[in-house]
Amino acid sequence: MFLTYRRRAYVTLWFLLGATLFFANHPAMAAYNSTAHGSATNGVKRSSAGITDYAIANCAHCHEQHASVGGTEPAPDNSGPSSYAAFASEEALCLGCHGGTPNYSANGSPDNINSLLNTSYGHYPADFSAKHKAKEVQADINSNAHVECTDCHNPHLSGATKHSKGTNAVTSTSPLYGAQGTTATYNSGSWLSSSVSYSALSAAGTEYKICFKCHSGAVGTPETWRGASGTTTWTDVAKEFNPANKSYHPVVQTLAGGTGSSALTNSQLSATWQNAGSKTMYCSDCHGDDNSNTVAKPYGPHGSANNRMLRNDSSFDLWPYNPSGNPWDLKDLGSNTNSWTTRLLCKKCHPLTTDPTDRTQIINYPHRFHADRAVSKTENYPCLLCHLSITHGSGQSRMTGNYTDPSPYSMTLIGTFTIGRSGSSNVETNPKMPWLTAFTKNASPLASGGYTRGSCSVYNGASPDNYNSINCGGNHP
Ligand code: HEC
Ligand code: HEC
Ligand code: HEC
Ligand code: HEC
Ligand code: HEC
Ligand code: HEC
Ligand code: HEC
**Could you please report the per-residue DSSP string of 105-120?**
B-SS-----GGGTTSS
Which positions of the chain have pLDDT values less than 70? 1-30, 49-50, 65-81, 228-232, 291-297, 313-314, 461-477
Q: What are the E-state strand segments in 239-398?
A: 247-248, 303-304, 393-394
- At 47, the amino acid letter reads S
Protein residues with CB under 6 Å of any ligand 3 atom: 18-19, 22, 32, 37, 44, 59, 61-63, 84, 86, 93, 132, 134-135, 150, 155-156
Compute CA 460 distance to the chain's CA centroid, rounded to the nearest angstrom.
35
Compute CA 159 distance to the chain's CA centroid, rounded to the nearest angstrom.
20
Instruction: Give residue 207 CA to ligand 5 midpoint distance, Å.
Output: 18
Q: Which residue's CA lies nearest to atom 13 of ligand 4? A: 390
**CA dihedral sign, ordered 429, 436, 261, 455:** negative
Any ligand 4 atom below 6 A from CB of 282: no
The b-or-e profile of 4-17 (16+ CB within 10 A means b, else e) is ebeebbebbeebee
Q: How far apart are CA 203 and CA 346, in angstroms?
A: 31
Closest ligand by atom to 303 CA: 2
Mutate to test the pocket of ligand 5, among 265, 399, 442 (most ligand atoms within 8 A of CB): 399
pLDDT value, residue 9: 43
pLDDT value, residue 463: 57
Q: How far apart are CA 91 and CA 98, in angstroms?
A: 10
Mutate to test the pocket of ligand 2, among 124, 211, 225 (most ligand atoms within 8 A of CB): 211
Which atom of ligand 1 is the closest one to the Cα of 87?
5
Asked if residue 412 lies in contact with residue 431, where contact means CB atoms within 8 angstroms, the answer is yes
pLDDT value, residue 457: 84
Name the pTM for this structure.
0.95
* Secondary structure of residue 195 in the 3-state scheme: strand
| DSSP secondary structure letter of residue 13 | H
Protein residues with CB under 6 Å of any ligand 7 atom: 264, 268, 328-330, 332-333, 344, 346, 350, 352, 363-364, 366-367, 370, 381, 383, 385-387, 398, 441-442, 445
45-81, pLDDT tens digit by residue?
Answer: 988 766 777 899 999 899 886 554 344 445 555 556 6
Mutate to test the pocket of ligand 6, among 115, 117, 149, 173 (most ligand atoms within 8 A of CB): 149
The bridge status of strand 121-122 relative to strand 456-458 is unpaired
pLDDT value, residue 299: 87
pLDDT value, residue 306: 84
Any ligand 6 atom below 6 A from CB of 213: no
Closest ligand by atom to 398 CA: 5
Please tell me the number of Cα atoms within 13 Å of 269 on its side-chain side.
15
| DSSP secondary structure letter of residue 394 | E
Which atom of ligand 5 is the closest one to the Cα of 255?
17
